[in-house]
Amino acid sequence: MAGNRYSPAGTETGRNSTSTPTSTPHSDSDPGDQKLHMLAADPVMADLPAGLVKTKEKDAPAHYETPVFGSGGSFGASVVVSFTSAASLPDIYKMVGDNAARNGWVGTAVDSTGMTDRWAKTYPEGSVSALLLTCKDPSATTSTRSCTLDGGI
């Protein structure tokens, strides 16, 4: 059968036609979802500063997607926290940045306005994690802004 992946024993592994997460020998990068739980419990994700109101959280375990038309492979665990705030954009970035710094994250990049929007952290057991802050329509003059923190490990 062309396109199928076979284990050394000759059994088919991880085959699907929709590139949905499957269990294969490659998907054991986070046994027991330990890294996912560590990231989700990190105060930068779990305890937003006052003035930032969490509206949604989505956790995705590490997984392997069978390549289809050139895409697929191993994906690490991720946590996405959506929130709103009436604060100004610079204040939102400062609140998130200060919270990140207090919790061991180090700024790694700035956006086009010069505000730090990406951070990295190495956990004691050696896992490296990344964090990205994005706010929808940063030039909008609405009283409430919608933003997301995307964390991956």
CB 123 within 8 A of CB 107: no
**In the predicted structure, residue 2 carries a pLDDT above the cut 90:** no
What is the pLDDT averaged over residues 92-106?
Answer: 97
Average pLDDT for the chain: 81
Please tell me which residue, 22 or 148, carries the higher pLDDT value: 148
What values do phi and psi take at 76, rounded to 5?
-75, 170
pLDDT score for 64: 77
What is the pLDDT averaged over residues 123-147?
Answer: 87
pTM: 0.74
**In the predicted structure, residue 96 carries a pLDDT above the cut 50:** yes
Please tell me which residue, 70 or 107, carries the higher pLDDT value: 107
**In the predicted structure, residue 16 carries a pLDDT above the cut 90:** no
Cβ atoms < 10 Å from Cβ of 62? 22
What values do phi and psi take at 26, rounded to 5?
-85, -10
pLDDT score for 104: 97
Does the CA dihedral 99-102-107-113 come out positive or negative? positive
Both ends of the chain: CA-CA distance in Å? 35
C-alpha dist (Å) from residue 128 to 15, 27, 51, 135:
29, 18, 28, 24
- H or E stretch covering 22: strand 21-22
Confidence class for position 48, pLDDT limits 50, 70, 90: very high
pLDDT score for 3: 42
pLDDT score for 21: 47
In the numeric block, which tokens belong to residue 57? 């959280």
**In the predicted structure, residue 10 carries a pLDDT above the cut 60:** no
Reference 87, options 138, 143, 140; nearest CA is: 143
